[in-house]
């Protein structure tokens, strides 16, 4: 039977196993491949799994390692989904796909992306490719304040200046320990996780997931 999993560290808190189980009614195993060593995680993937999701801090390592990169993966400069094929490993970026799906209906004209790790790179590429006037802020640049129609916050913790964010919509990547929940226009990290999973799981399995069952995991 095909197996699937997630590499990254730390990942014990991840909701990905619950989402994957809901997506396919539990018919495929999905495991956490937790180690701080990318080489060990990658070797375990190649030995035992058909496809993996990739989270921090390994998105850049996986991008460098895959044999083939999708266009959105190249745009983002990071991969969070890798599939083994007879032609080699193929890298995708479902963060890009998920963020794009979340932004499209909002009608925004300007965007600010805070943070430039794997998630930030994907969000920046998605906003730019939707035609939004987009600016990147690294964590040290937030202190002066940030203003845009939508702010996409991808840092793992609060930094100086997050009390000076001015926006109509606020999308946060972190869904376990959010810094910004409760603010007007807030879009939680669970919505991001769900959107990237819905758009990404079919790439892993070749089968469309049950999006309604996945949404129910978060009470949507």
Instruction: Per-residue pLDDT tens, the chain, 220 aa: give them.
Output: 899 999 999 999 999 999 999 999 999 999 999 999 999 999 999 999 999 999 999 999 999 999 999 999 999 999 999 999 999 999 999 999 999 999 999 999 999 999 999 999 999 999 999 999 999 999 899 999 999 999 999 999 999 999 999 999 999 999 989 999 999 999 999 999 999 999 999 999 999 999 999 999 999 9
pLDDT at 170: 98
For residue 175 the two structure tokens come to 């869904």
In CATH, the number for domain 4-94+192-217 is 3.40.50.10860
| 143-146 CB contacts, 8 Å cutoff, 24+ apart | 146/112, 146/114
pLDDT at 155: 95
Taking each helix axis from N to C terminus, what angle separates 189-205 and 94-103, rounded to the nearest 10 degrees? Answer: 130
Q: CA end-to-end span of the chain, whole Å?
A: 31
The SS3 of residue 12 is: coil
CB 56 within 8 A of CB 8: yes
pLDDT at 1: 83
- The CATH 3.40.50.720 portion of the chain extends over 97-188
- The CATH 3.40.50.10860 portion of the chain extends over 4-94+192-217
pTM of the model: 0.92
Q: Which of 50, 59, 90, 121 is catalytic?
A: 59
pLDDT at 51: 98
Question: Is-catalytic flag, 59?
Answer: yes
Domain 97-188, architecture per CATH: 3-Layer(aba) Sandwich (3.40)
């Amino acid at each position: 039977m095909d197996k699937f999993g997630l590499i990254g560290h730390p990942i014990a808190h991840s909701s990905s196993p619950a989402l994957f189980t809901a997506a396919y009614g539990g018919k495929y195993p999905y495991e956490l491949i937790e180690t701080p060593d990318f080489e060990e995680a990658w070797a375990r993937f190649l030995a035992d799994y058909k496809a993996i999701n990739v989270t921090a801090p390994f998105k850049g390592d996986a991008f460098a390692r895959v044999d083939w990169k999708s266009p959105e993966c190249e745009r983002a400069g990071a991969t969070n989904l890798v599939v083994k094929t007879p032609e080699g490993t193929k890298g995708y970026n479902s963060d890009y796909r998920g963020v794009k799906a979340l932004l499209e209906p909002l009608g925004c004209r300007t965007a600010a992306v805070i943070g430039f790790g794997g998630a930030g790179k994907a969000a920046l590429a998605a906003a730019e490719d939707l035609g939004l006037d987009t600016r990147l802020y690294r964590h040290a640049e937030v202190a002066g304040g940030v203003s845009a129609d939508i702010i996409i916050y991808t840092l793992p913790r609060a930094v100086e200046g997050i009390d000076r964010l001015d926006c109509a919509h606020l999308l946060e990547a972190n869904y376990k320990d959010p810094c910004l929940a409760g603010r007007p226009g807030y879009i939680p990290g669970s919505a991001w996780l769900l959107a990237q999973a819905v758009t990404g799981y079919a790439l892993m399995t070749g089968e469309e997931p049950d999006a309604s069952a996945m949404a129910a995991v978060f009470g949507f």
